[in-house]
Amino acid sequence: MPQEKEIVYCPAGHSGYTFNNISIFRGECNSCTIEHFSREFGNWSSENVEIDKFIQESQINNGYDRNDQYKLQWIQYDKFQDIKHIADGGHGSVHSAMLKNGIKWYWNFNKQHWEYCYADNKFALKEINDSRNDISEFLKEIKNIMIVKHFHYITKCIGISKNPSSENYIIVMELYDDSLHKFITKNFMNLRWKTKIDLLYDIVIGLGRLHTEKLVHRDLHSGNILTNDYSHLNLYAASITDLGLCSLVSELILLSDKKSNNIYGSIPYIPPEVLRGSAFTKEGDIYSFGGIMYEIATGKRPFYDRAHDTRLIIDICNGLRPKIPDIMLNWMPQCYSDFMYKCWNDDPSERPTDNELRDTFWDLVDKFNNEIEDYILQQFKIADENQEKTIKSQKQESSLSSSISHPQSCYISRSIHTLHGLYNSLDDIKSGKSQDPNLLKSNESITSSVSIYDIDPKESQECIDWEKEIQNKAEKRPFSGISTLDCNSREFNECINLDNEDNIAFKKIKKTKKDNNIYVREPSSQSSYTFSQNDFVFWKSIYPRSHRIHRLISYIPSEALRGNEFTKREIFIVLVELCMKWQLENDHENQEKEIKSQKQESSLSSKPQECFHWEQRSSK
């Protein structure tokens, strides 16, 4: 007869075959952990019955697992220290914070107290907008995260909290170094194909895990991929995040016979069938993955040079796909670009399956890791060499960095009107008779232009106050004549036309320094930005209260934004006075007689004092 296993008991009388000498020494017991979690249910409350119930059920059902340290727990907001803003998104904001004591791991039956893990670790706090009033979307994201919590390459959740100021609920998650988009922006010129393939493989595995659990992401883009940099080990890792829009395949099948008027996402990553009004599918996620392949290969987001409007939607549905820049054609192996365009196939059934994605990228990872020399790997090595040669050319590097995103592009997920929803008004939108509901308004394009960091409401209000002060100051200065410039005039519109690279502002920037990126910045927005070194800031100042002139444009080296020699107040004054000087120069020919009559007070040849300060300091 087979020998029966000996039943082992913990001191509390709980039995289990998982006990061994290590477990007994460490005081580990799943039942003890569940029991003590249950005893403490009355010691905390999220102030929401549904959330309390979900946390309690999770603790009872999961208990203790040595390999799973992520226990869903309620964490009081005052337990967080060193809270810092990271970014804003379509549904909320993200902060980083340190959790001093860590989180409860298991009940130690030997020492009769909780063992904690992740003490002094930093976590990401994702605050969901308006969750104080409606927790349905908040709970949906939490539940989706918990479904795939045992899988790698998908971000983990450790708890739930609540911001006492906004009363919105917070998902406490793993903290990563950067979004994939920011990682690419910072490192693109130095990225080689081995790293690119490693990152894509991680994303493919994470996406496959979601699909295995019958979940469709529905909002996959480079902002929803997080990365960790282990460059000291020559390793980089990526994980999928933002599962708020994830839906079960069974739920989406029920919608397959219905056309939708609205969808949520970023137009360049939304598959054409969804833009036409059909339901999202797993194949739609594959299409979105094609956009990530494009950005990793080119360093540019899909359709970065287009307005993200109904015209773009129509073009995508008619077969338009992002173009590989001519200068980068030999940076990308043909096999890679072919596979990318296959992901973008208009027919969902012709796109690669999860298995094809996994096998294709695993094969590439294996070739790179084991240096399996064959024709495929040789293509990638040649592509790396071509990139290195191109970057060494100053002329080519300048043309690479000079491209800018269209001011009405948007990579923050938002509500989009489908072609089905716009069916009756498409002709009027195309002819210009009707306003395009998918076209960003000027004040909506802010967050999609650059990454947002370190938001400080007080600082933002100071910017607004400075703007008003400078406007008042300008009315008393000789160059206040600029405020009488007709904003409908050809000269003015040429100056503010961001689509035309021949406009006055671009000419001034190119004449000064040709090899820098240009970004749009709104000083009166609720944000401040961090720019790459040596970039130029293309500052568009909007004065809503002025009835004659609405925009003033200027530039300033981004070093000044970070330099100790400049205060933000000084920088802002310089910007406004420089742009006024530009406008005066532009209007010089038409107003020459009037300007001369003002003598030295309004002479265009003399620069404002702040401009002299700026030039002298920036030359140090």
Model pLDDT for residues 112-124, shown as the tens digit of each residue: 999 998 888 999 9
Measure the CA angle with vertex 486, ends 512 and 446; round to 5°.
55
User: How do 215-216 and 247-248 pair as beta strands?
Assistant: antiparallel
Which has the closest alpha carbon to 584: 523, 508, 517?
508
Query: Cα(77)–Cα(57) distance, rounded to whole angstroms?
Result: 22
Going from the C-alpha of 198 to that of each of 257, 286, 370, 463, the distances in angstroms are 38, 18, 13, 42
Query: Cα(411)–Cα(44) distance, rounded to whole angstroms?
Result: 39
Partnered with residue 123 across adjacent β-strands are 97, 174
CATH of domain 21-174: 3.30.200.20
Q: Where are the domains of the chain?
A: 21-174, 178-390+404-443, 456-618
Query: Cα(71)–Cα(156) distance, rounded to whole angstroms?
Result: 10
DSSP assigned state of 330: G
The residues, ordered by sequence, that sit 6+ positions from 224 with a Cβ below 8 Å of its Cβ are: 179, 217, 240, 241, 242
Q: Report pLDDT for 431.
A: 80
156-184: b or e for each residue (b if 16 or more CB lie within 10 Å)? Answer: bbbbbbbbeeeebbbbbbbbbebbbbbbb
Query: Cα(74)–Cα(53) distance, rounded to whole angstroms?
Result: 11
Query: Cα(537)–Cα(509) distance, rounded to whole angstroms?
Result: 10
Query: Cα(304)–Cα(325) distance, rounded to whole angstroms?
Result: 12
DSSP, residue by residue, 486-542: -TTSHHHHHHH-TT-TTSHHHHHHHHH-SS--EEEE-TTSS--B---TTPEEEEEEE
Instruction: For residue 580, give both structure tokens.
Output: 């006024």
Q: Report pLDDT for 598.
A: 58
Q: Is the dihedral of CA 574, 533, 445, 584 positive or negative?
A: positive
- Cα 67 → chain centroid: 31
Q: Report pLDDT for 565.
A: 37
pLDDT digits (tens, 9 = 90+) for 296-334: 999 999 999 999 999 999 999 999 999 999 889 999 999
DSSP, residue by residue, 433-460: SS--TTSPPGGGSHHHHS-B----HHHH
Query: Cα(415)–Cα(217) distance, rounded to whole angstroms?
Result: 16
Give, in words, the CATH class of 178-390+404-443.
mainly alpha
168 and 161 Cβ atoms separated by less than 8 Å: no
Q: pTM, whole model, 2 decimals?
A: 0.71
Count Cα neighbours of 27 within 13 Å in the Cβ-side half-sphere: 12
pLDDT along the chain (620 residues), means of 10: 60 65 74 91 95 94 69 93 86 90 89 90 93 92 91 92 95 94 92 96 97 96 93 86 91 82 95 96 98 97 94 96 93 96 98 97 94 90 93 60 74 92 87 85 40 34 44 42 38 44 41 36 34 35 28 36 38 44 52 56 41 31
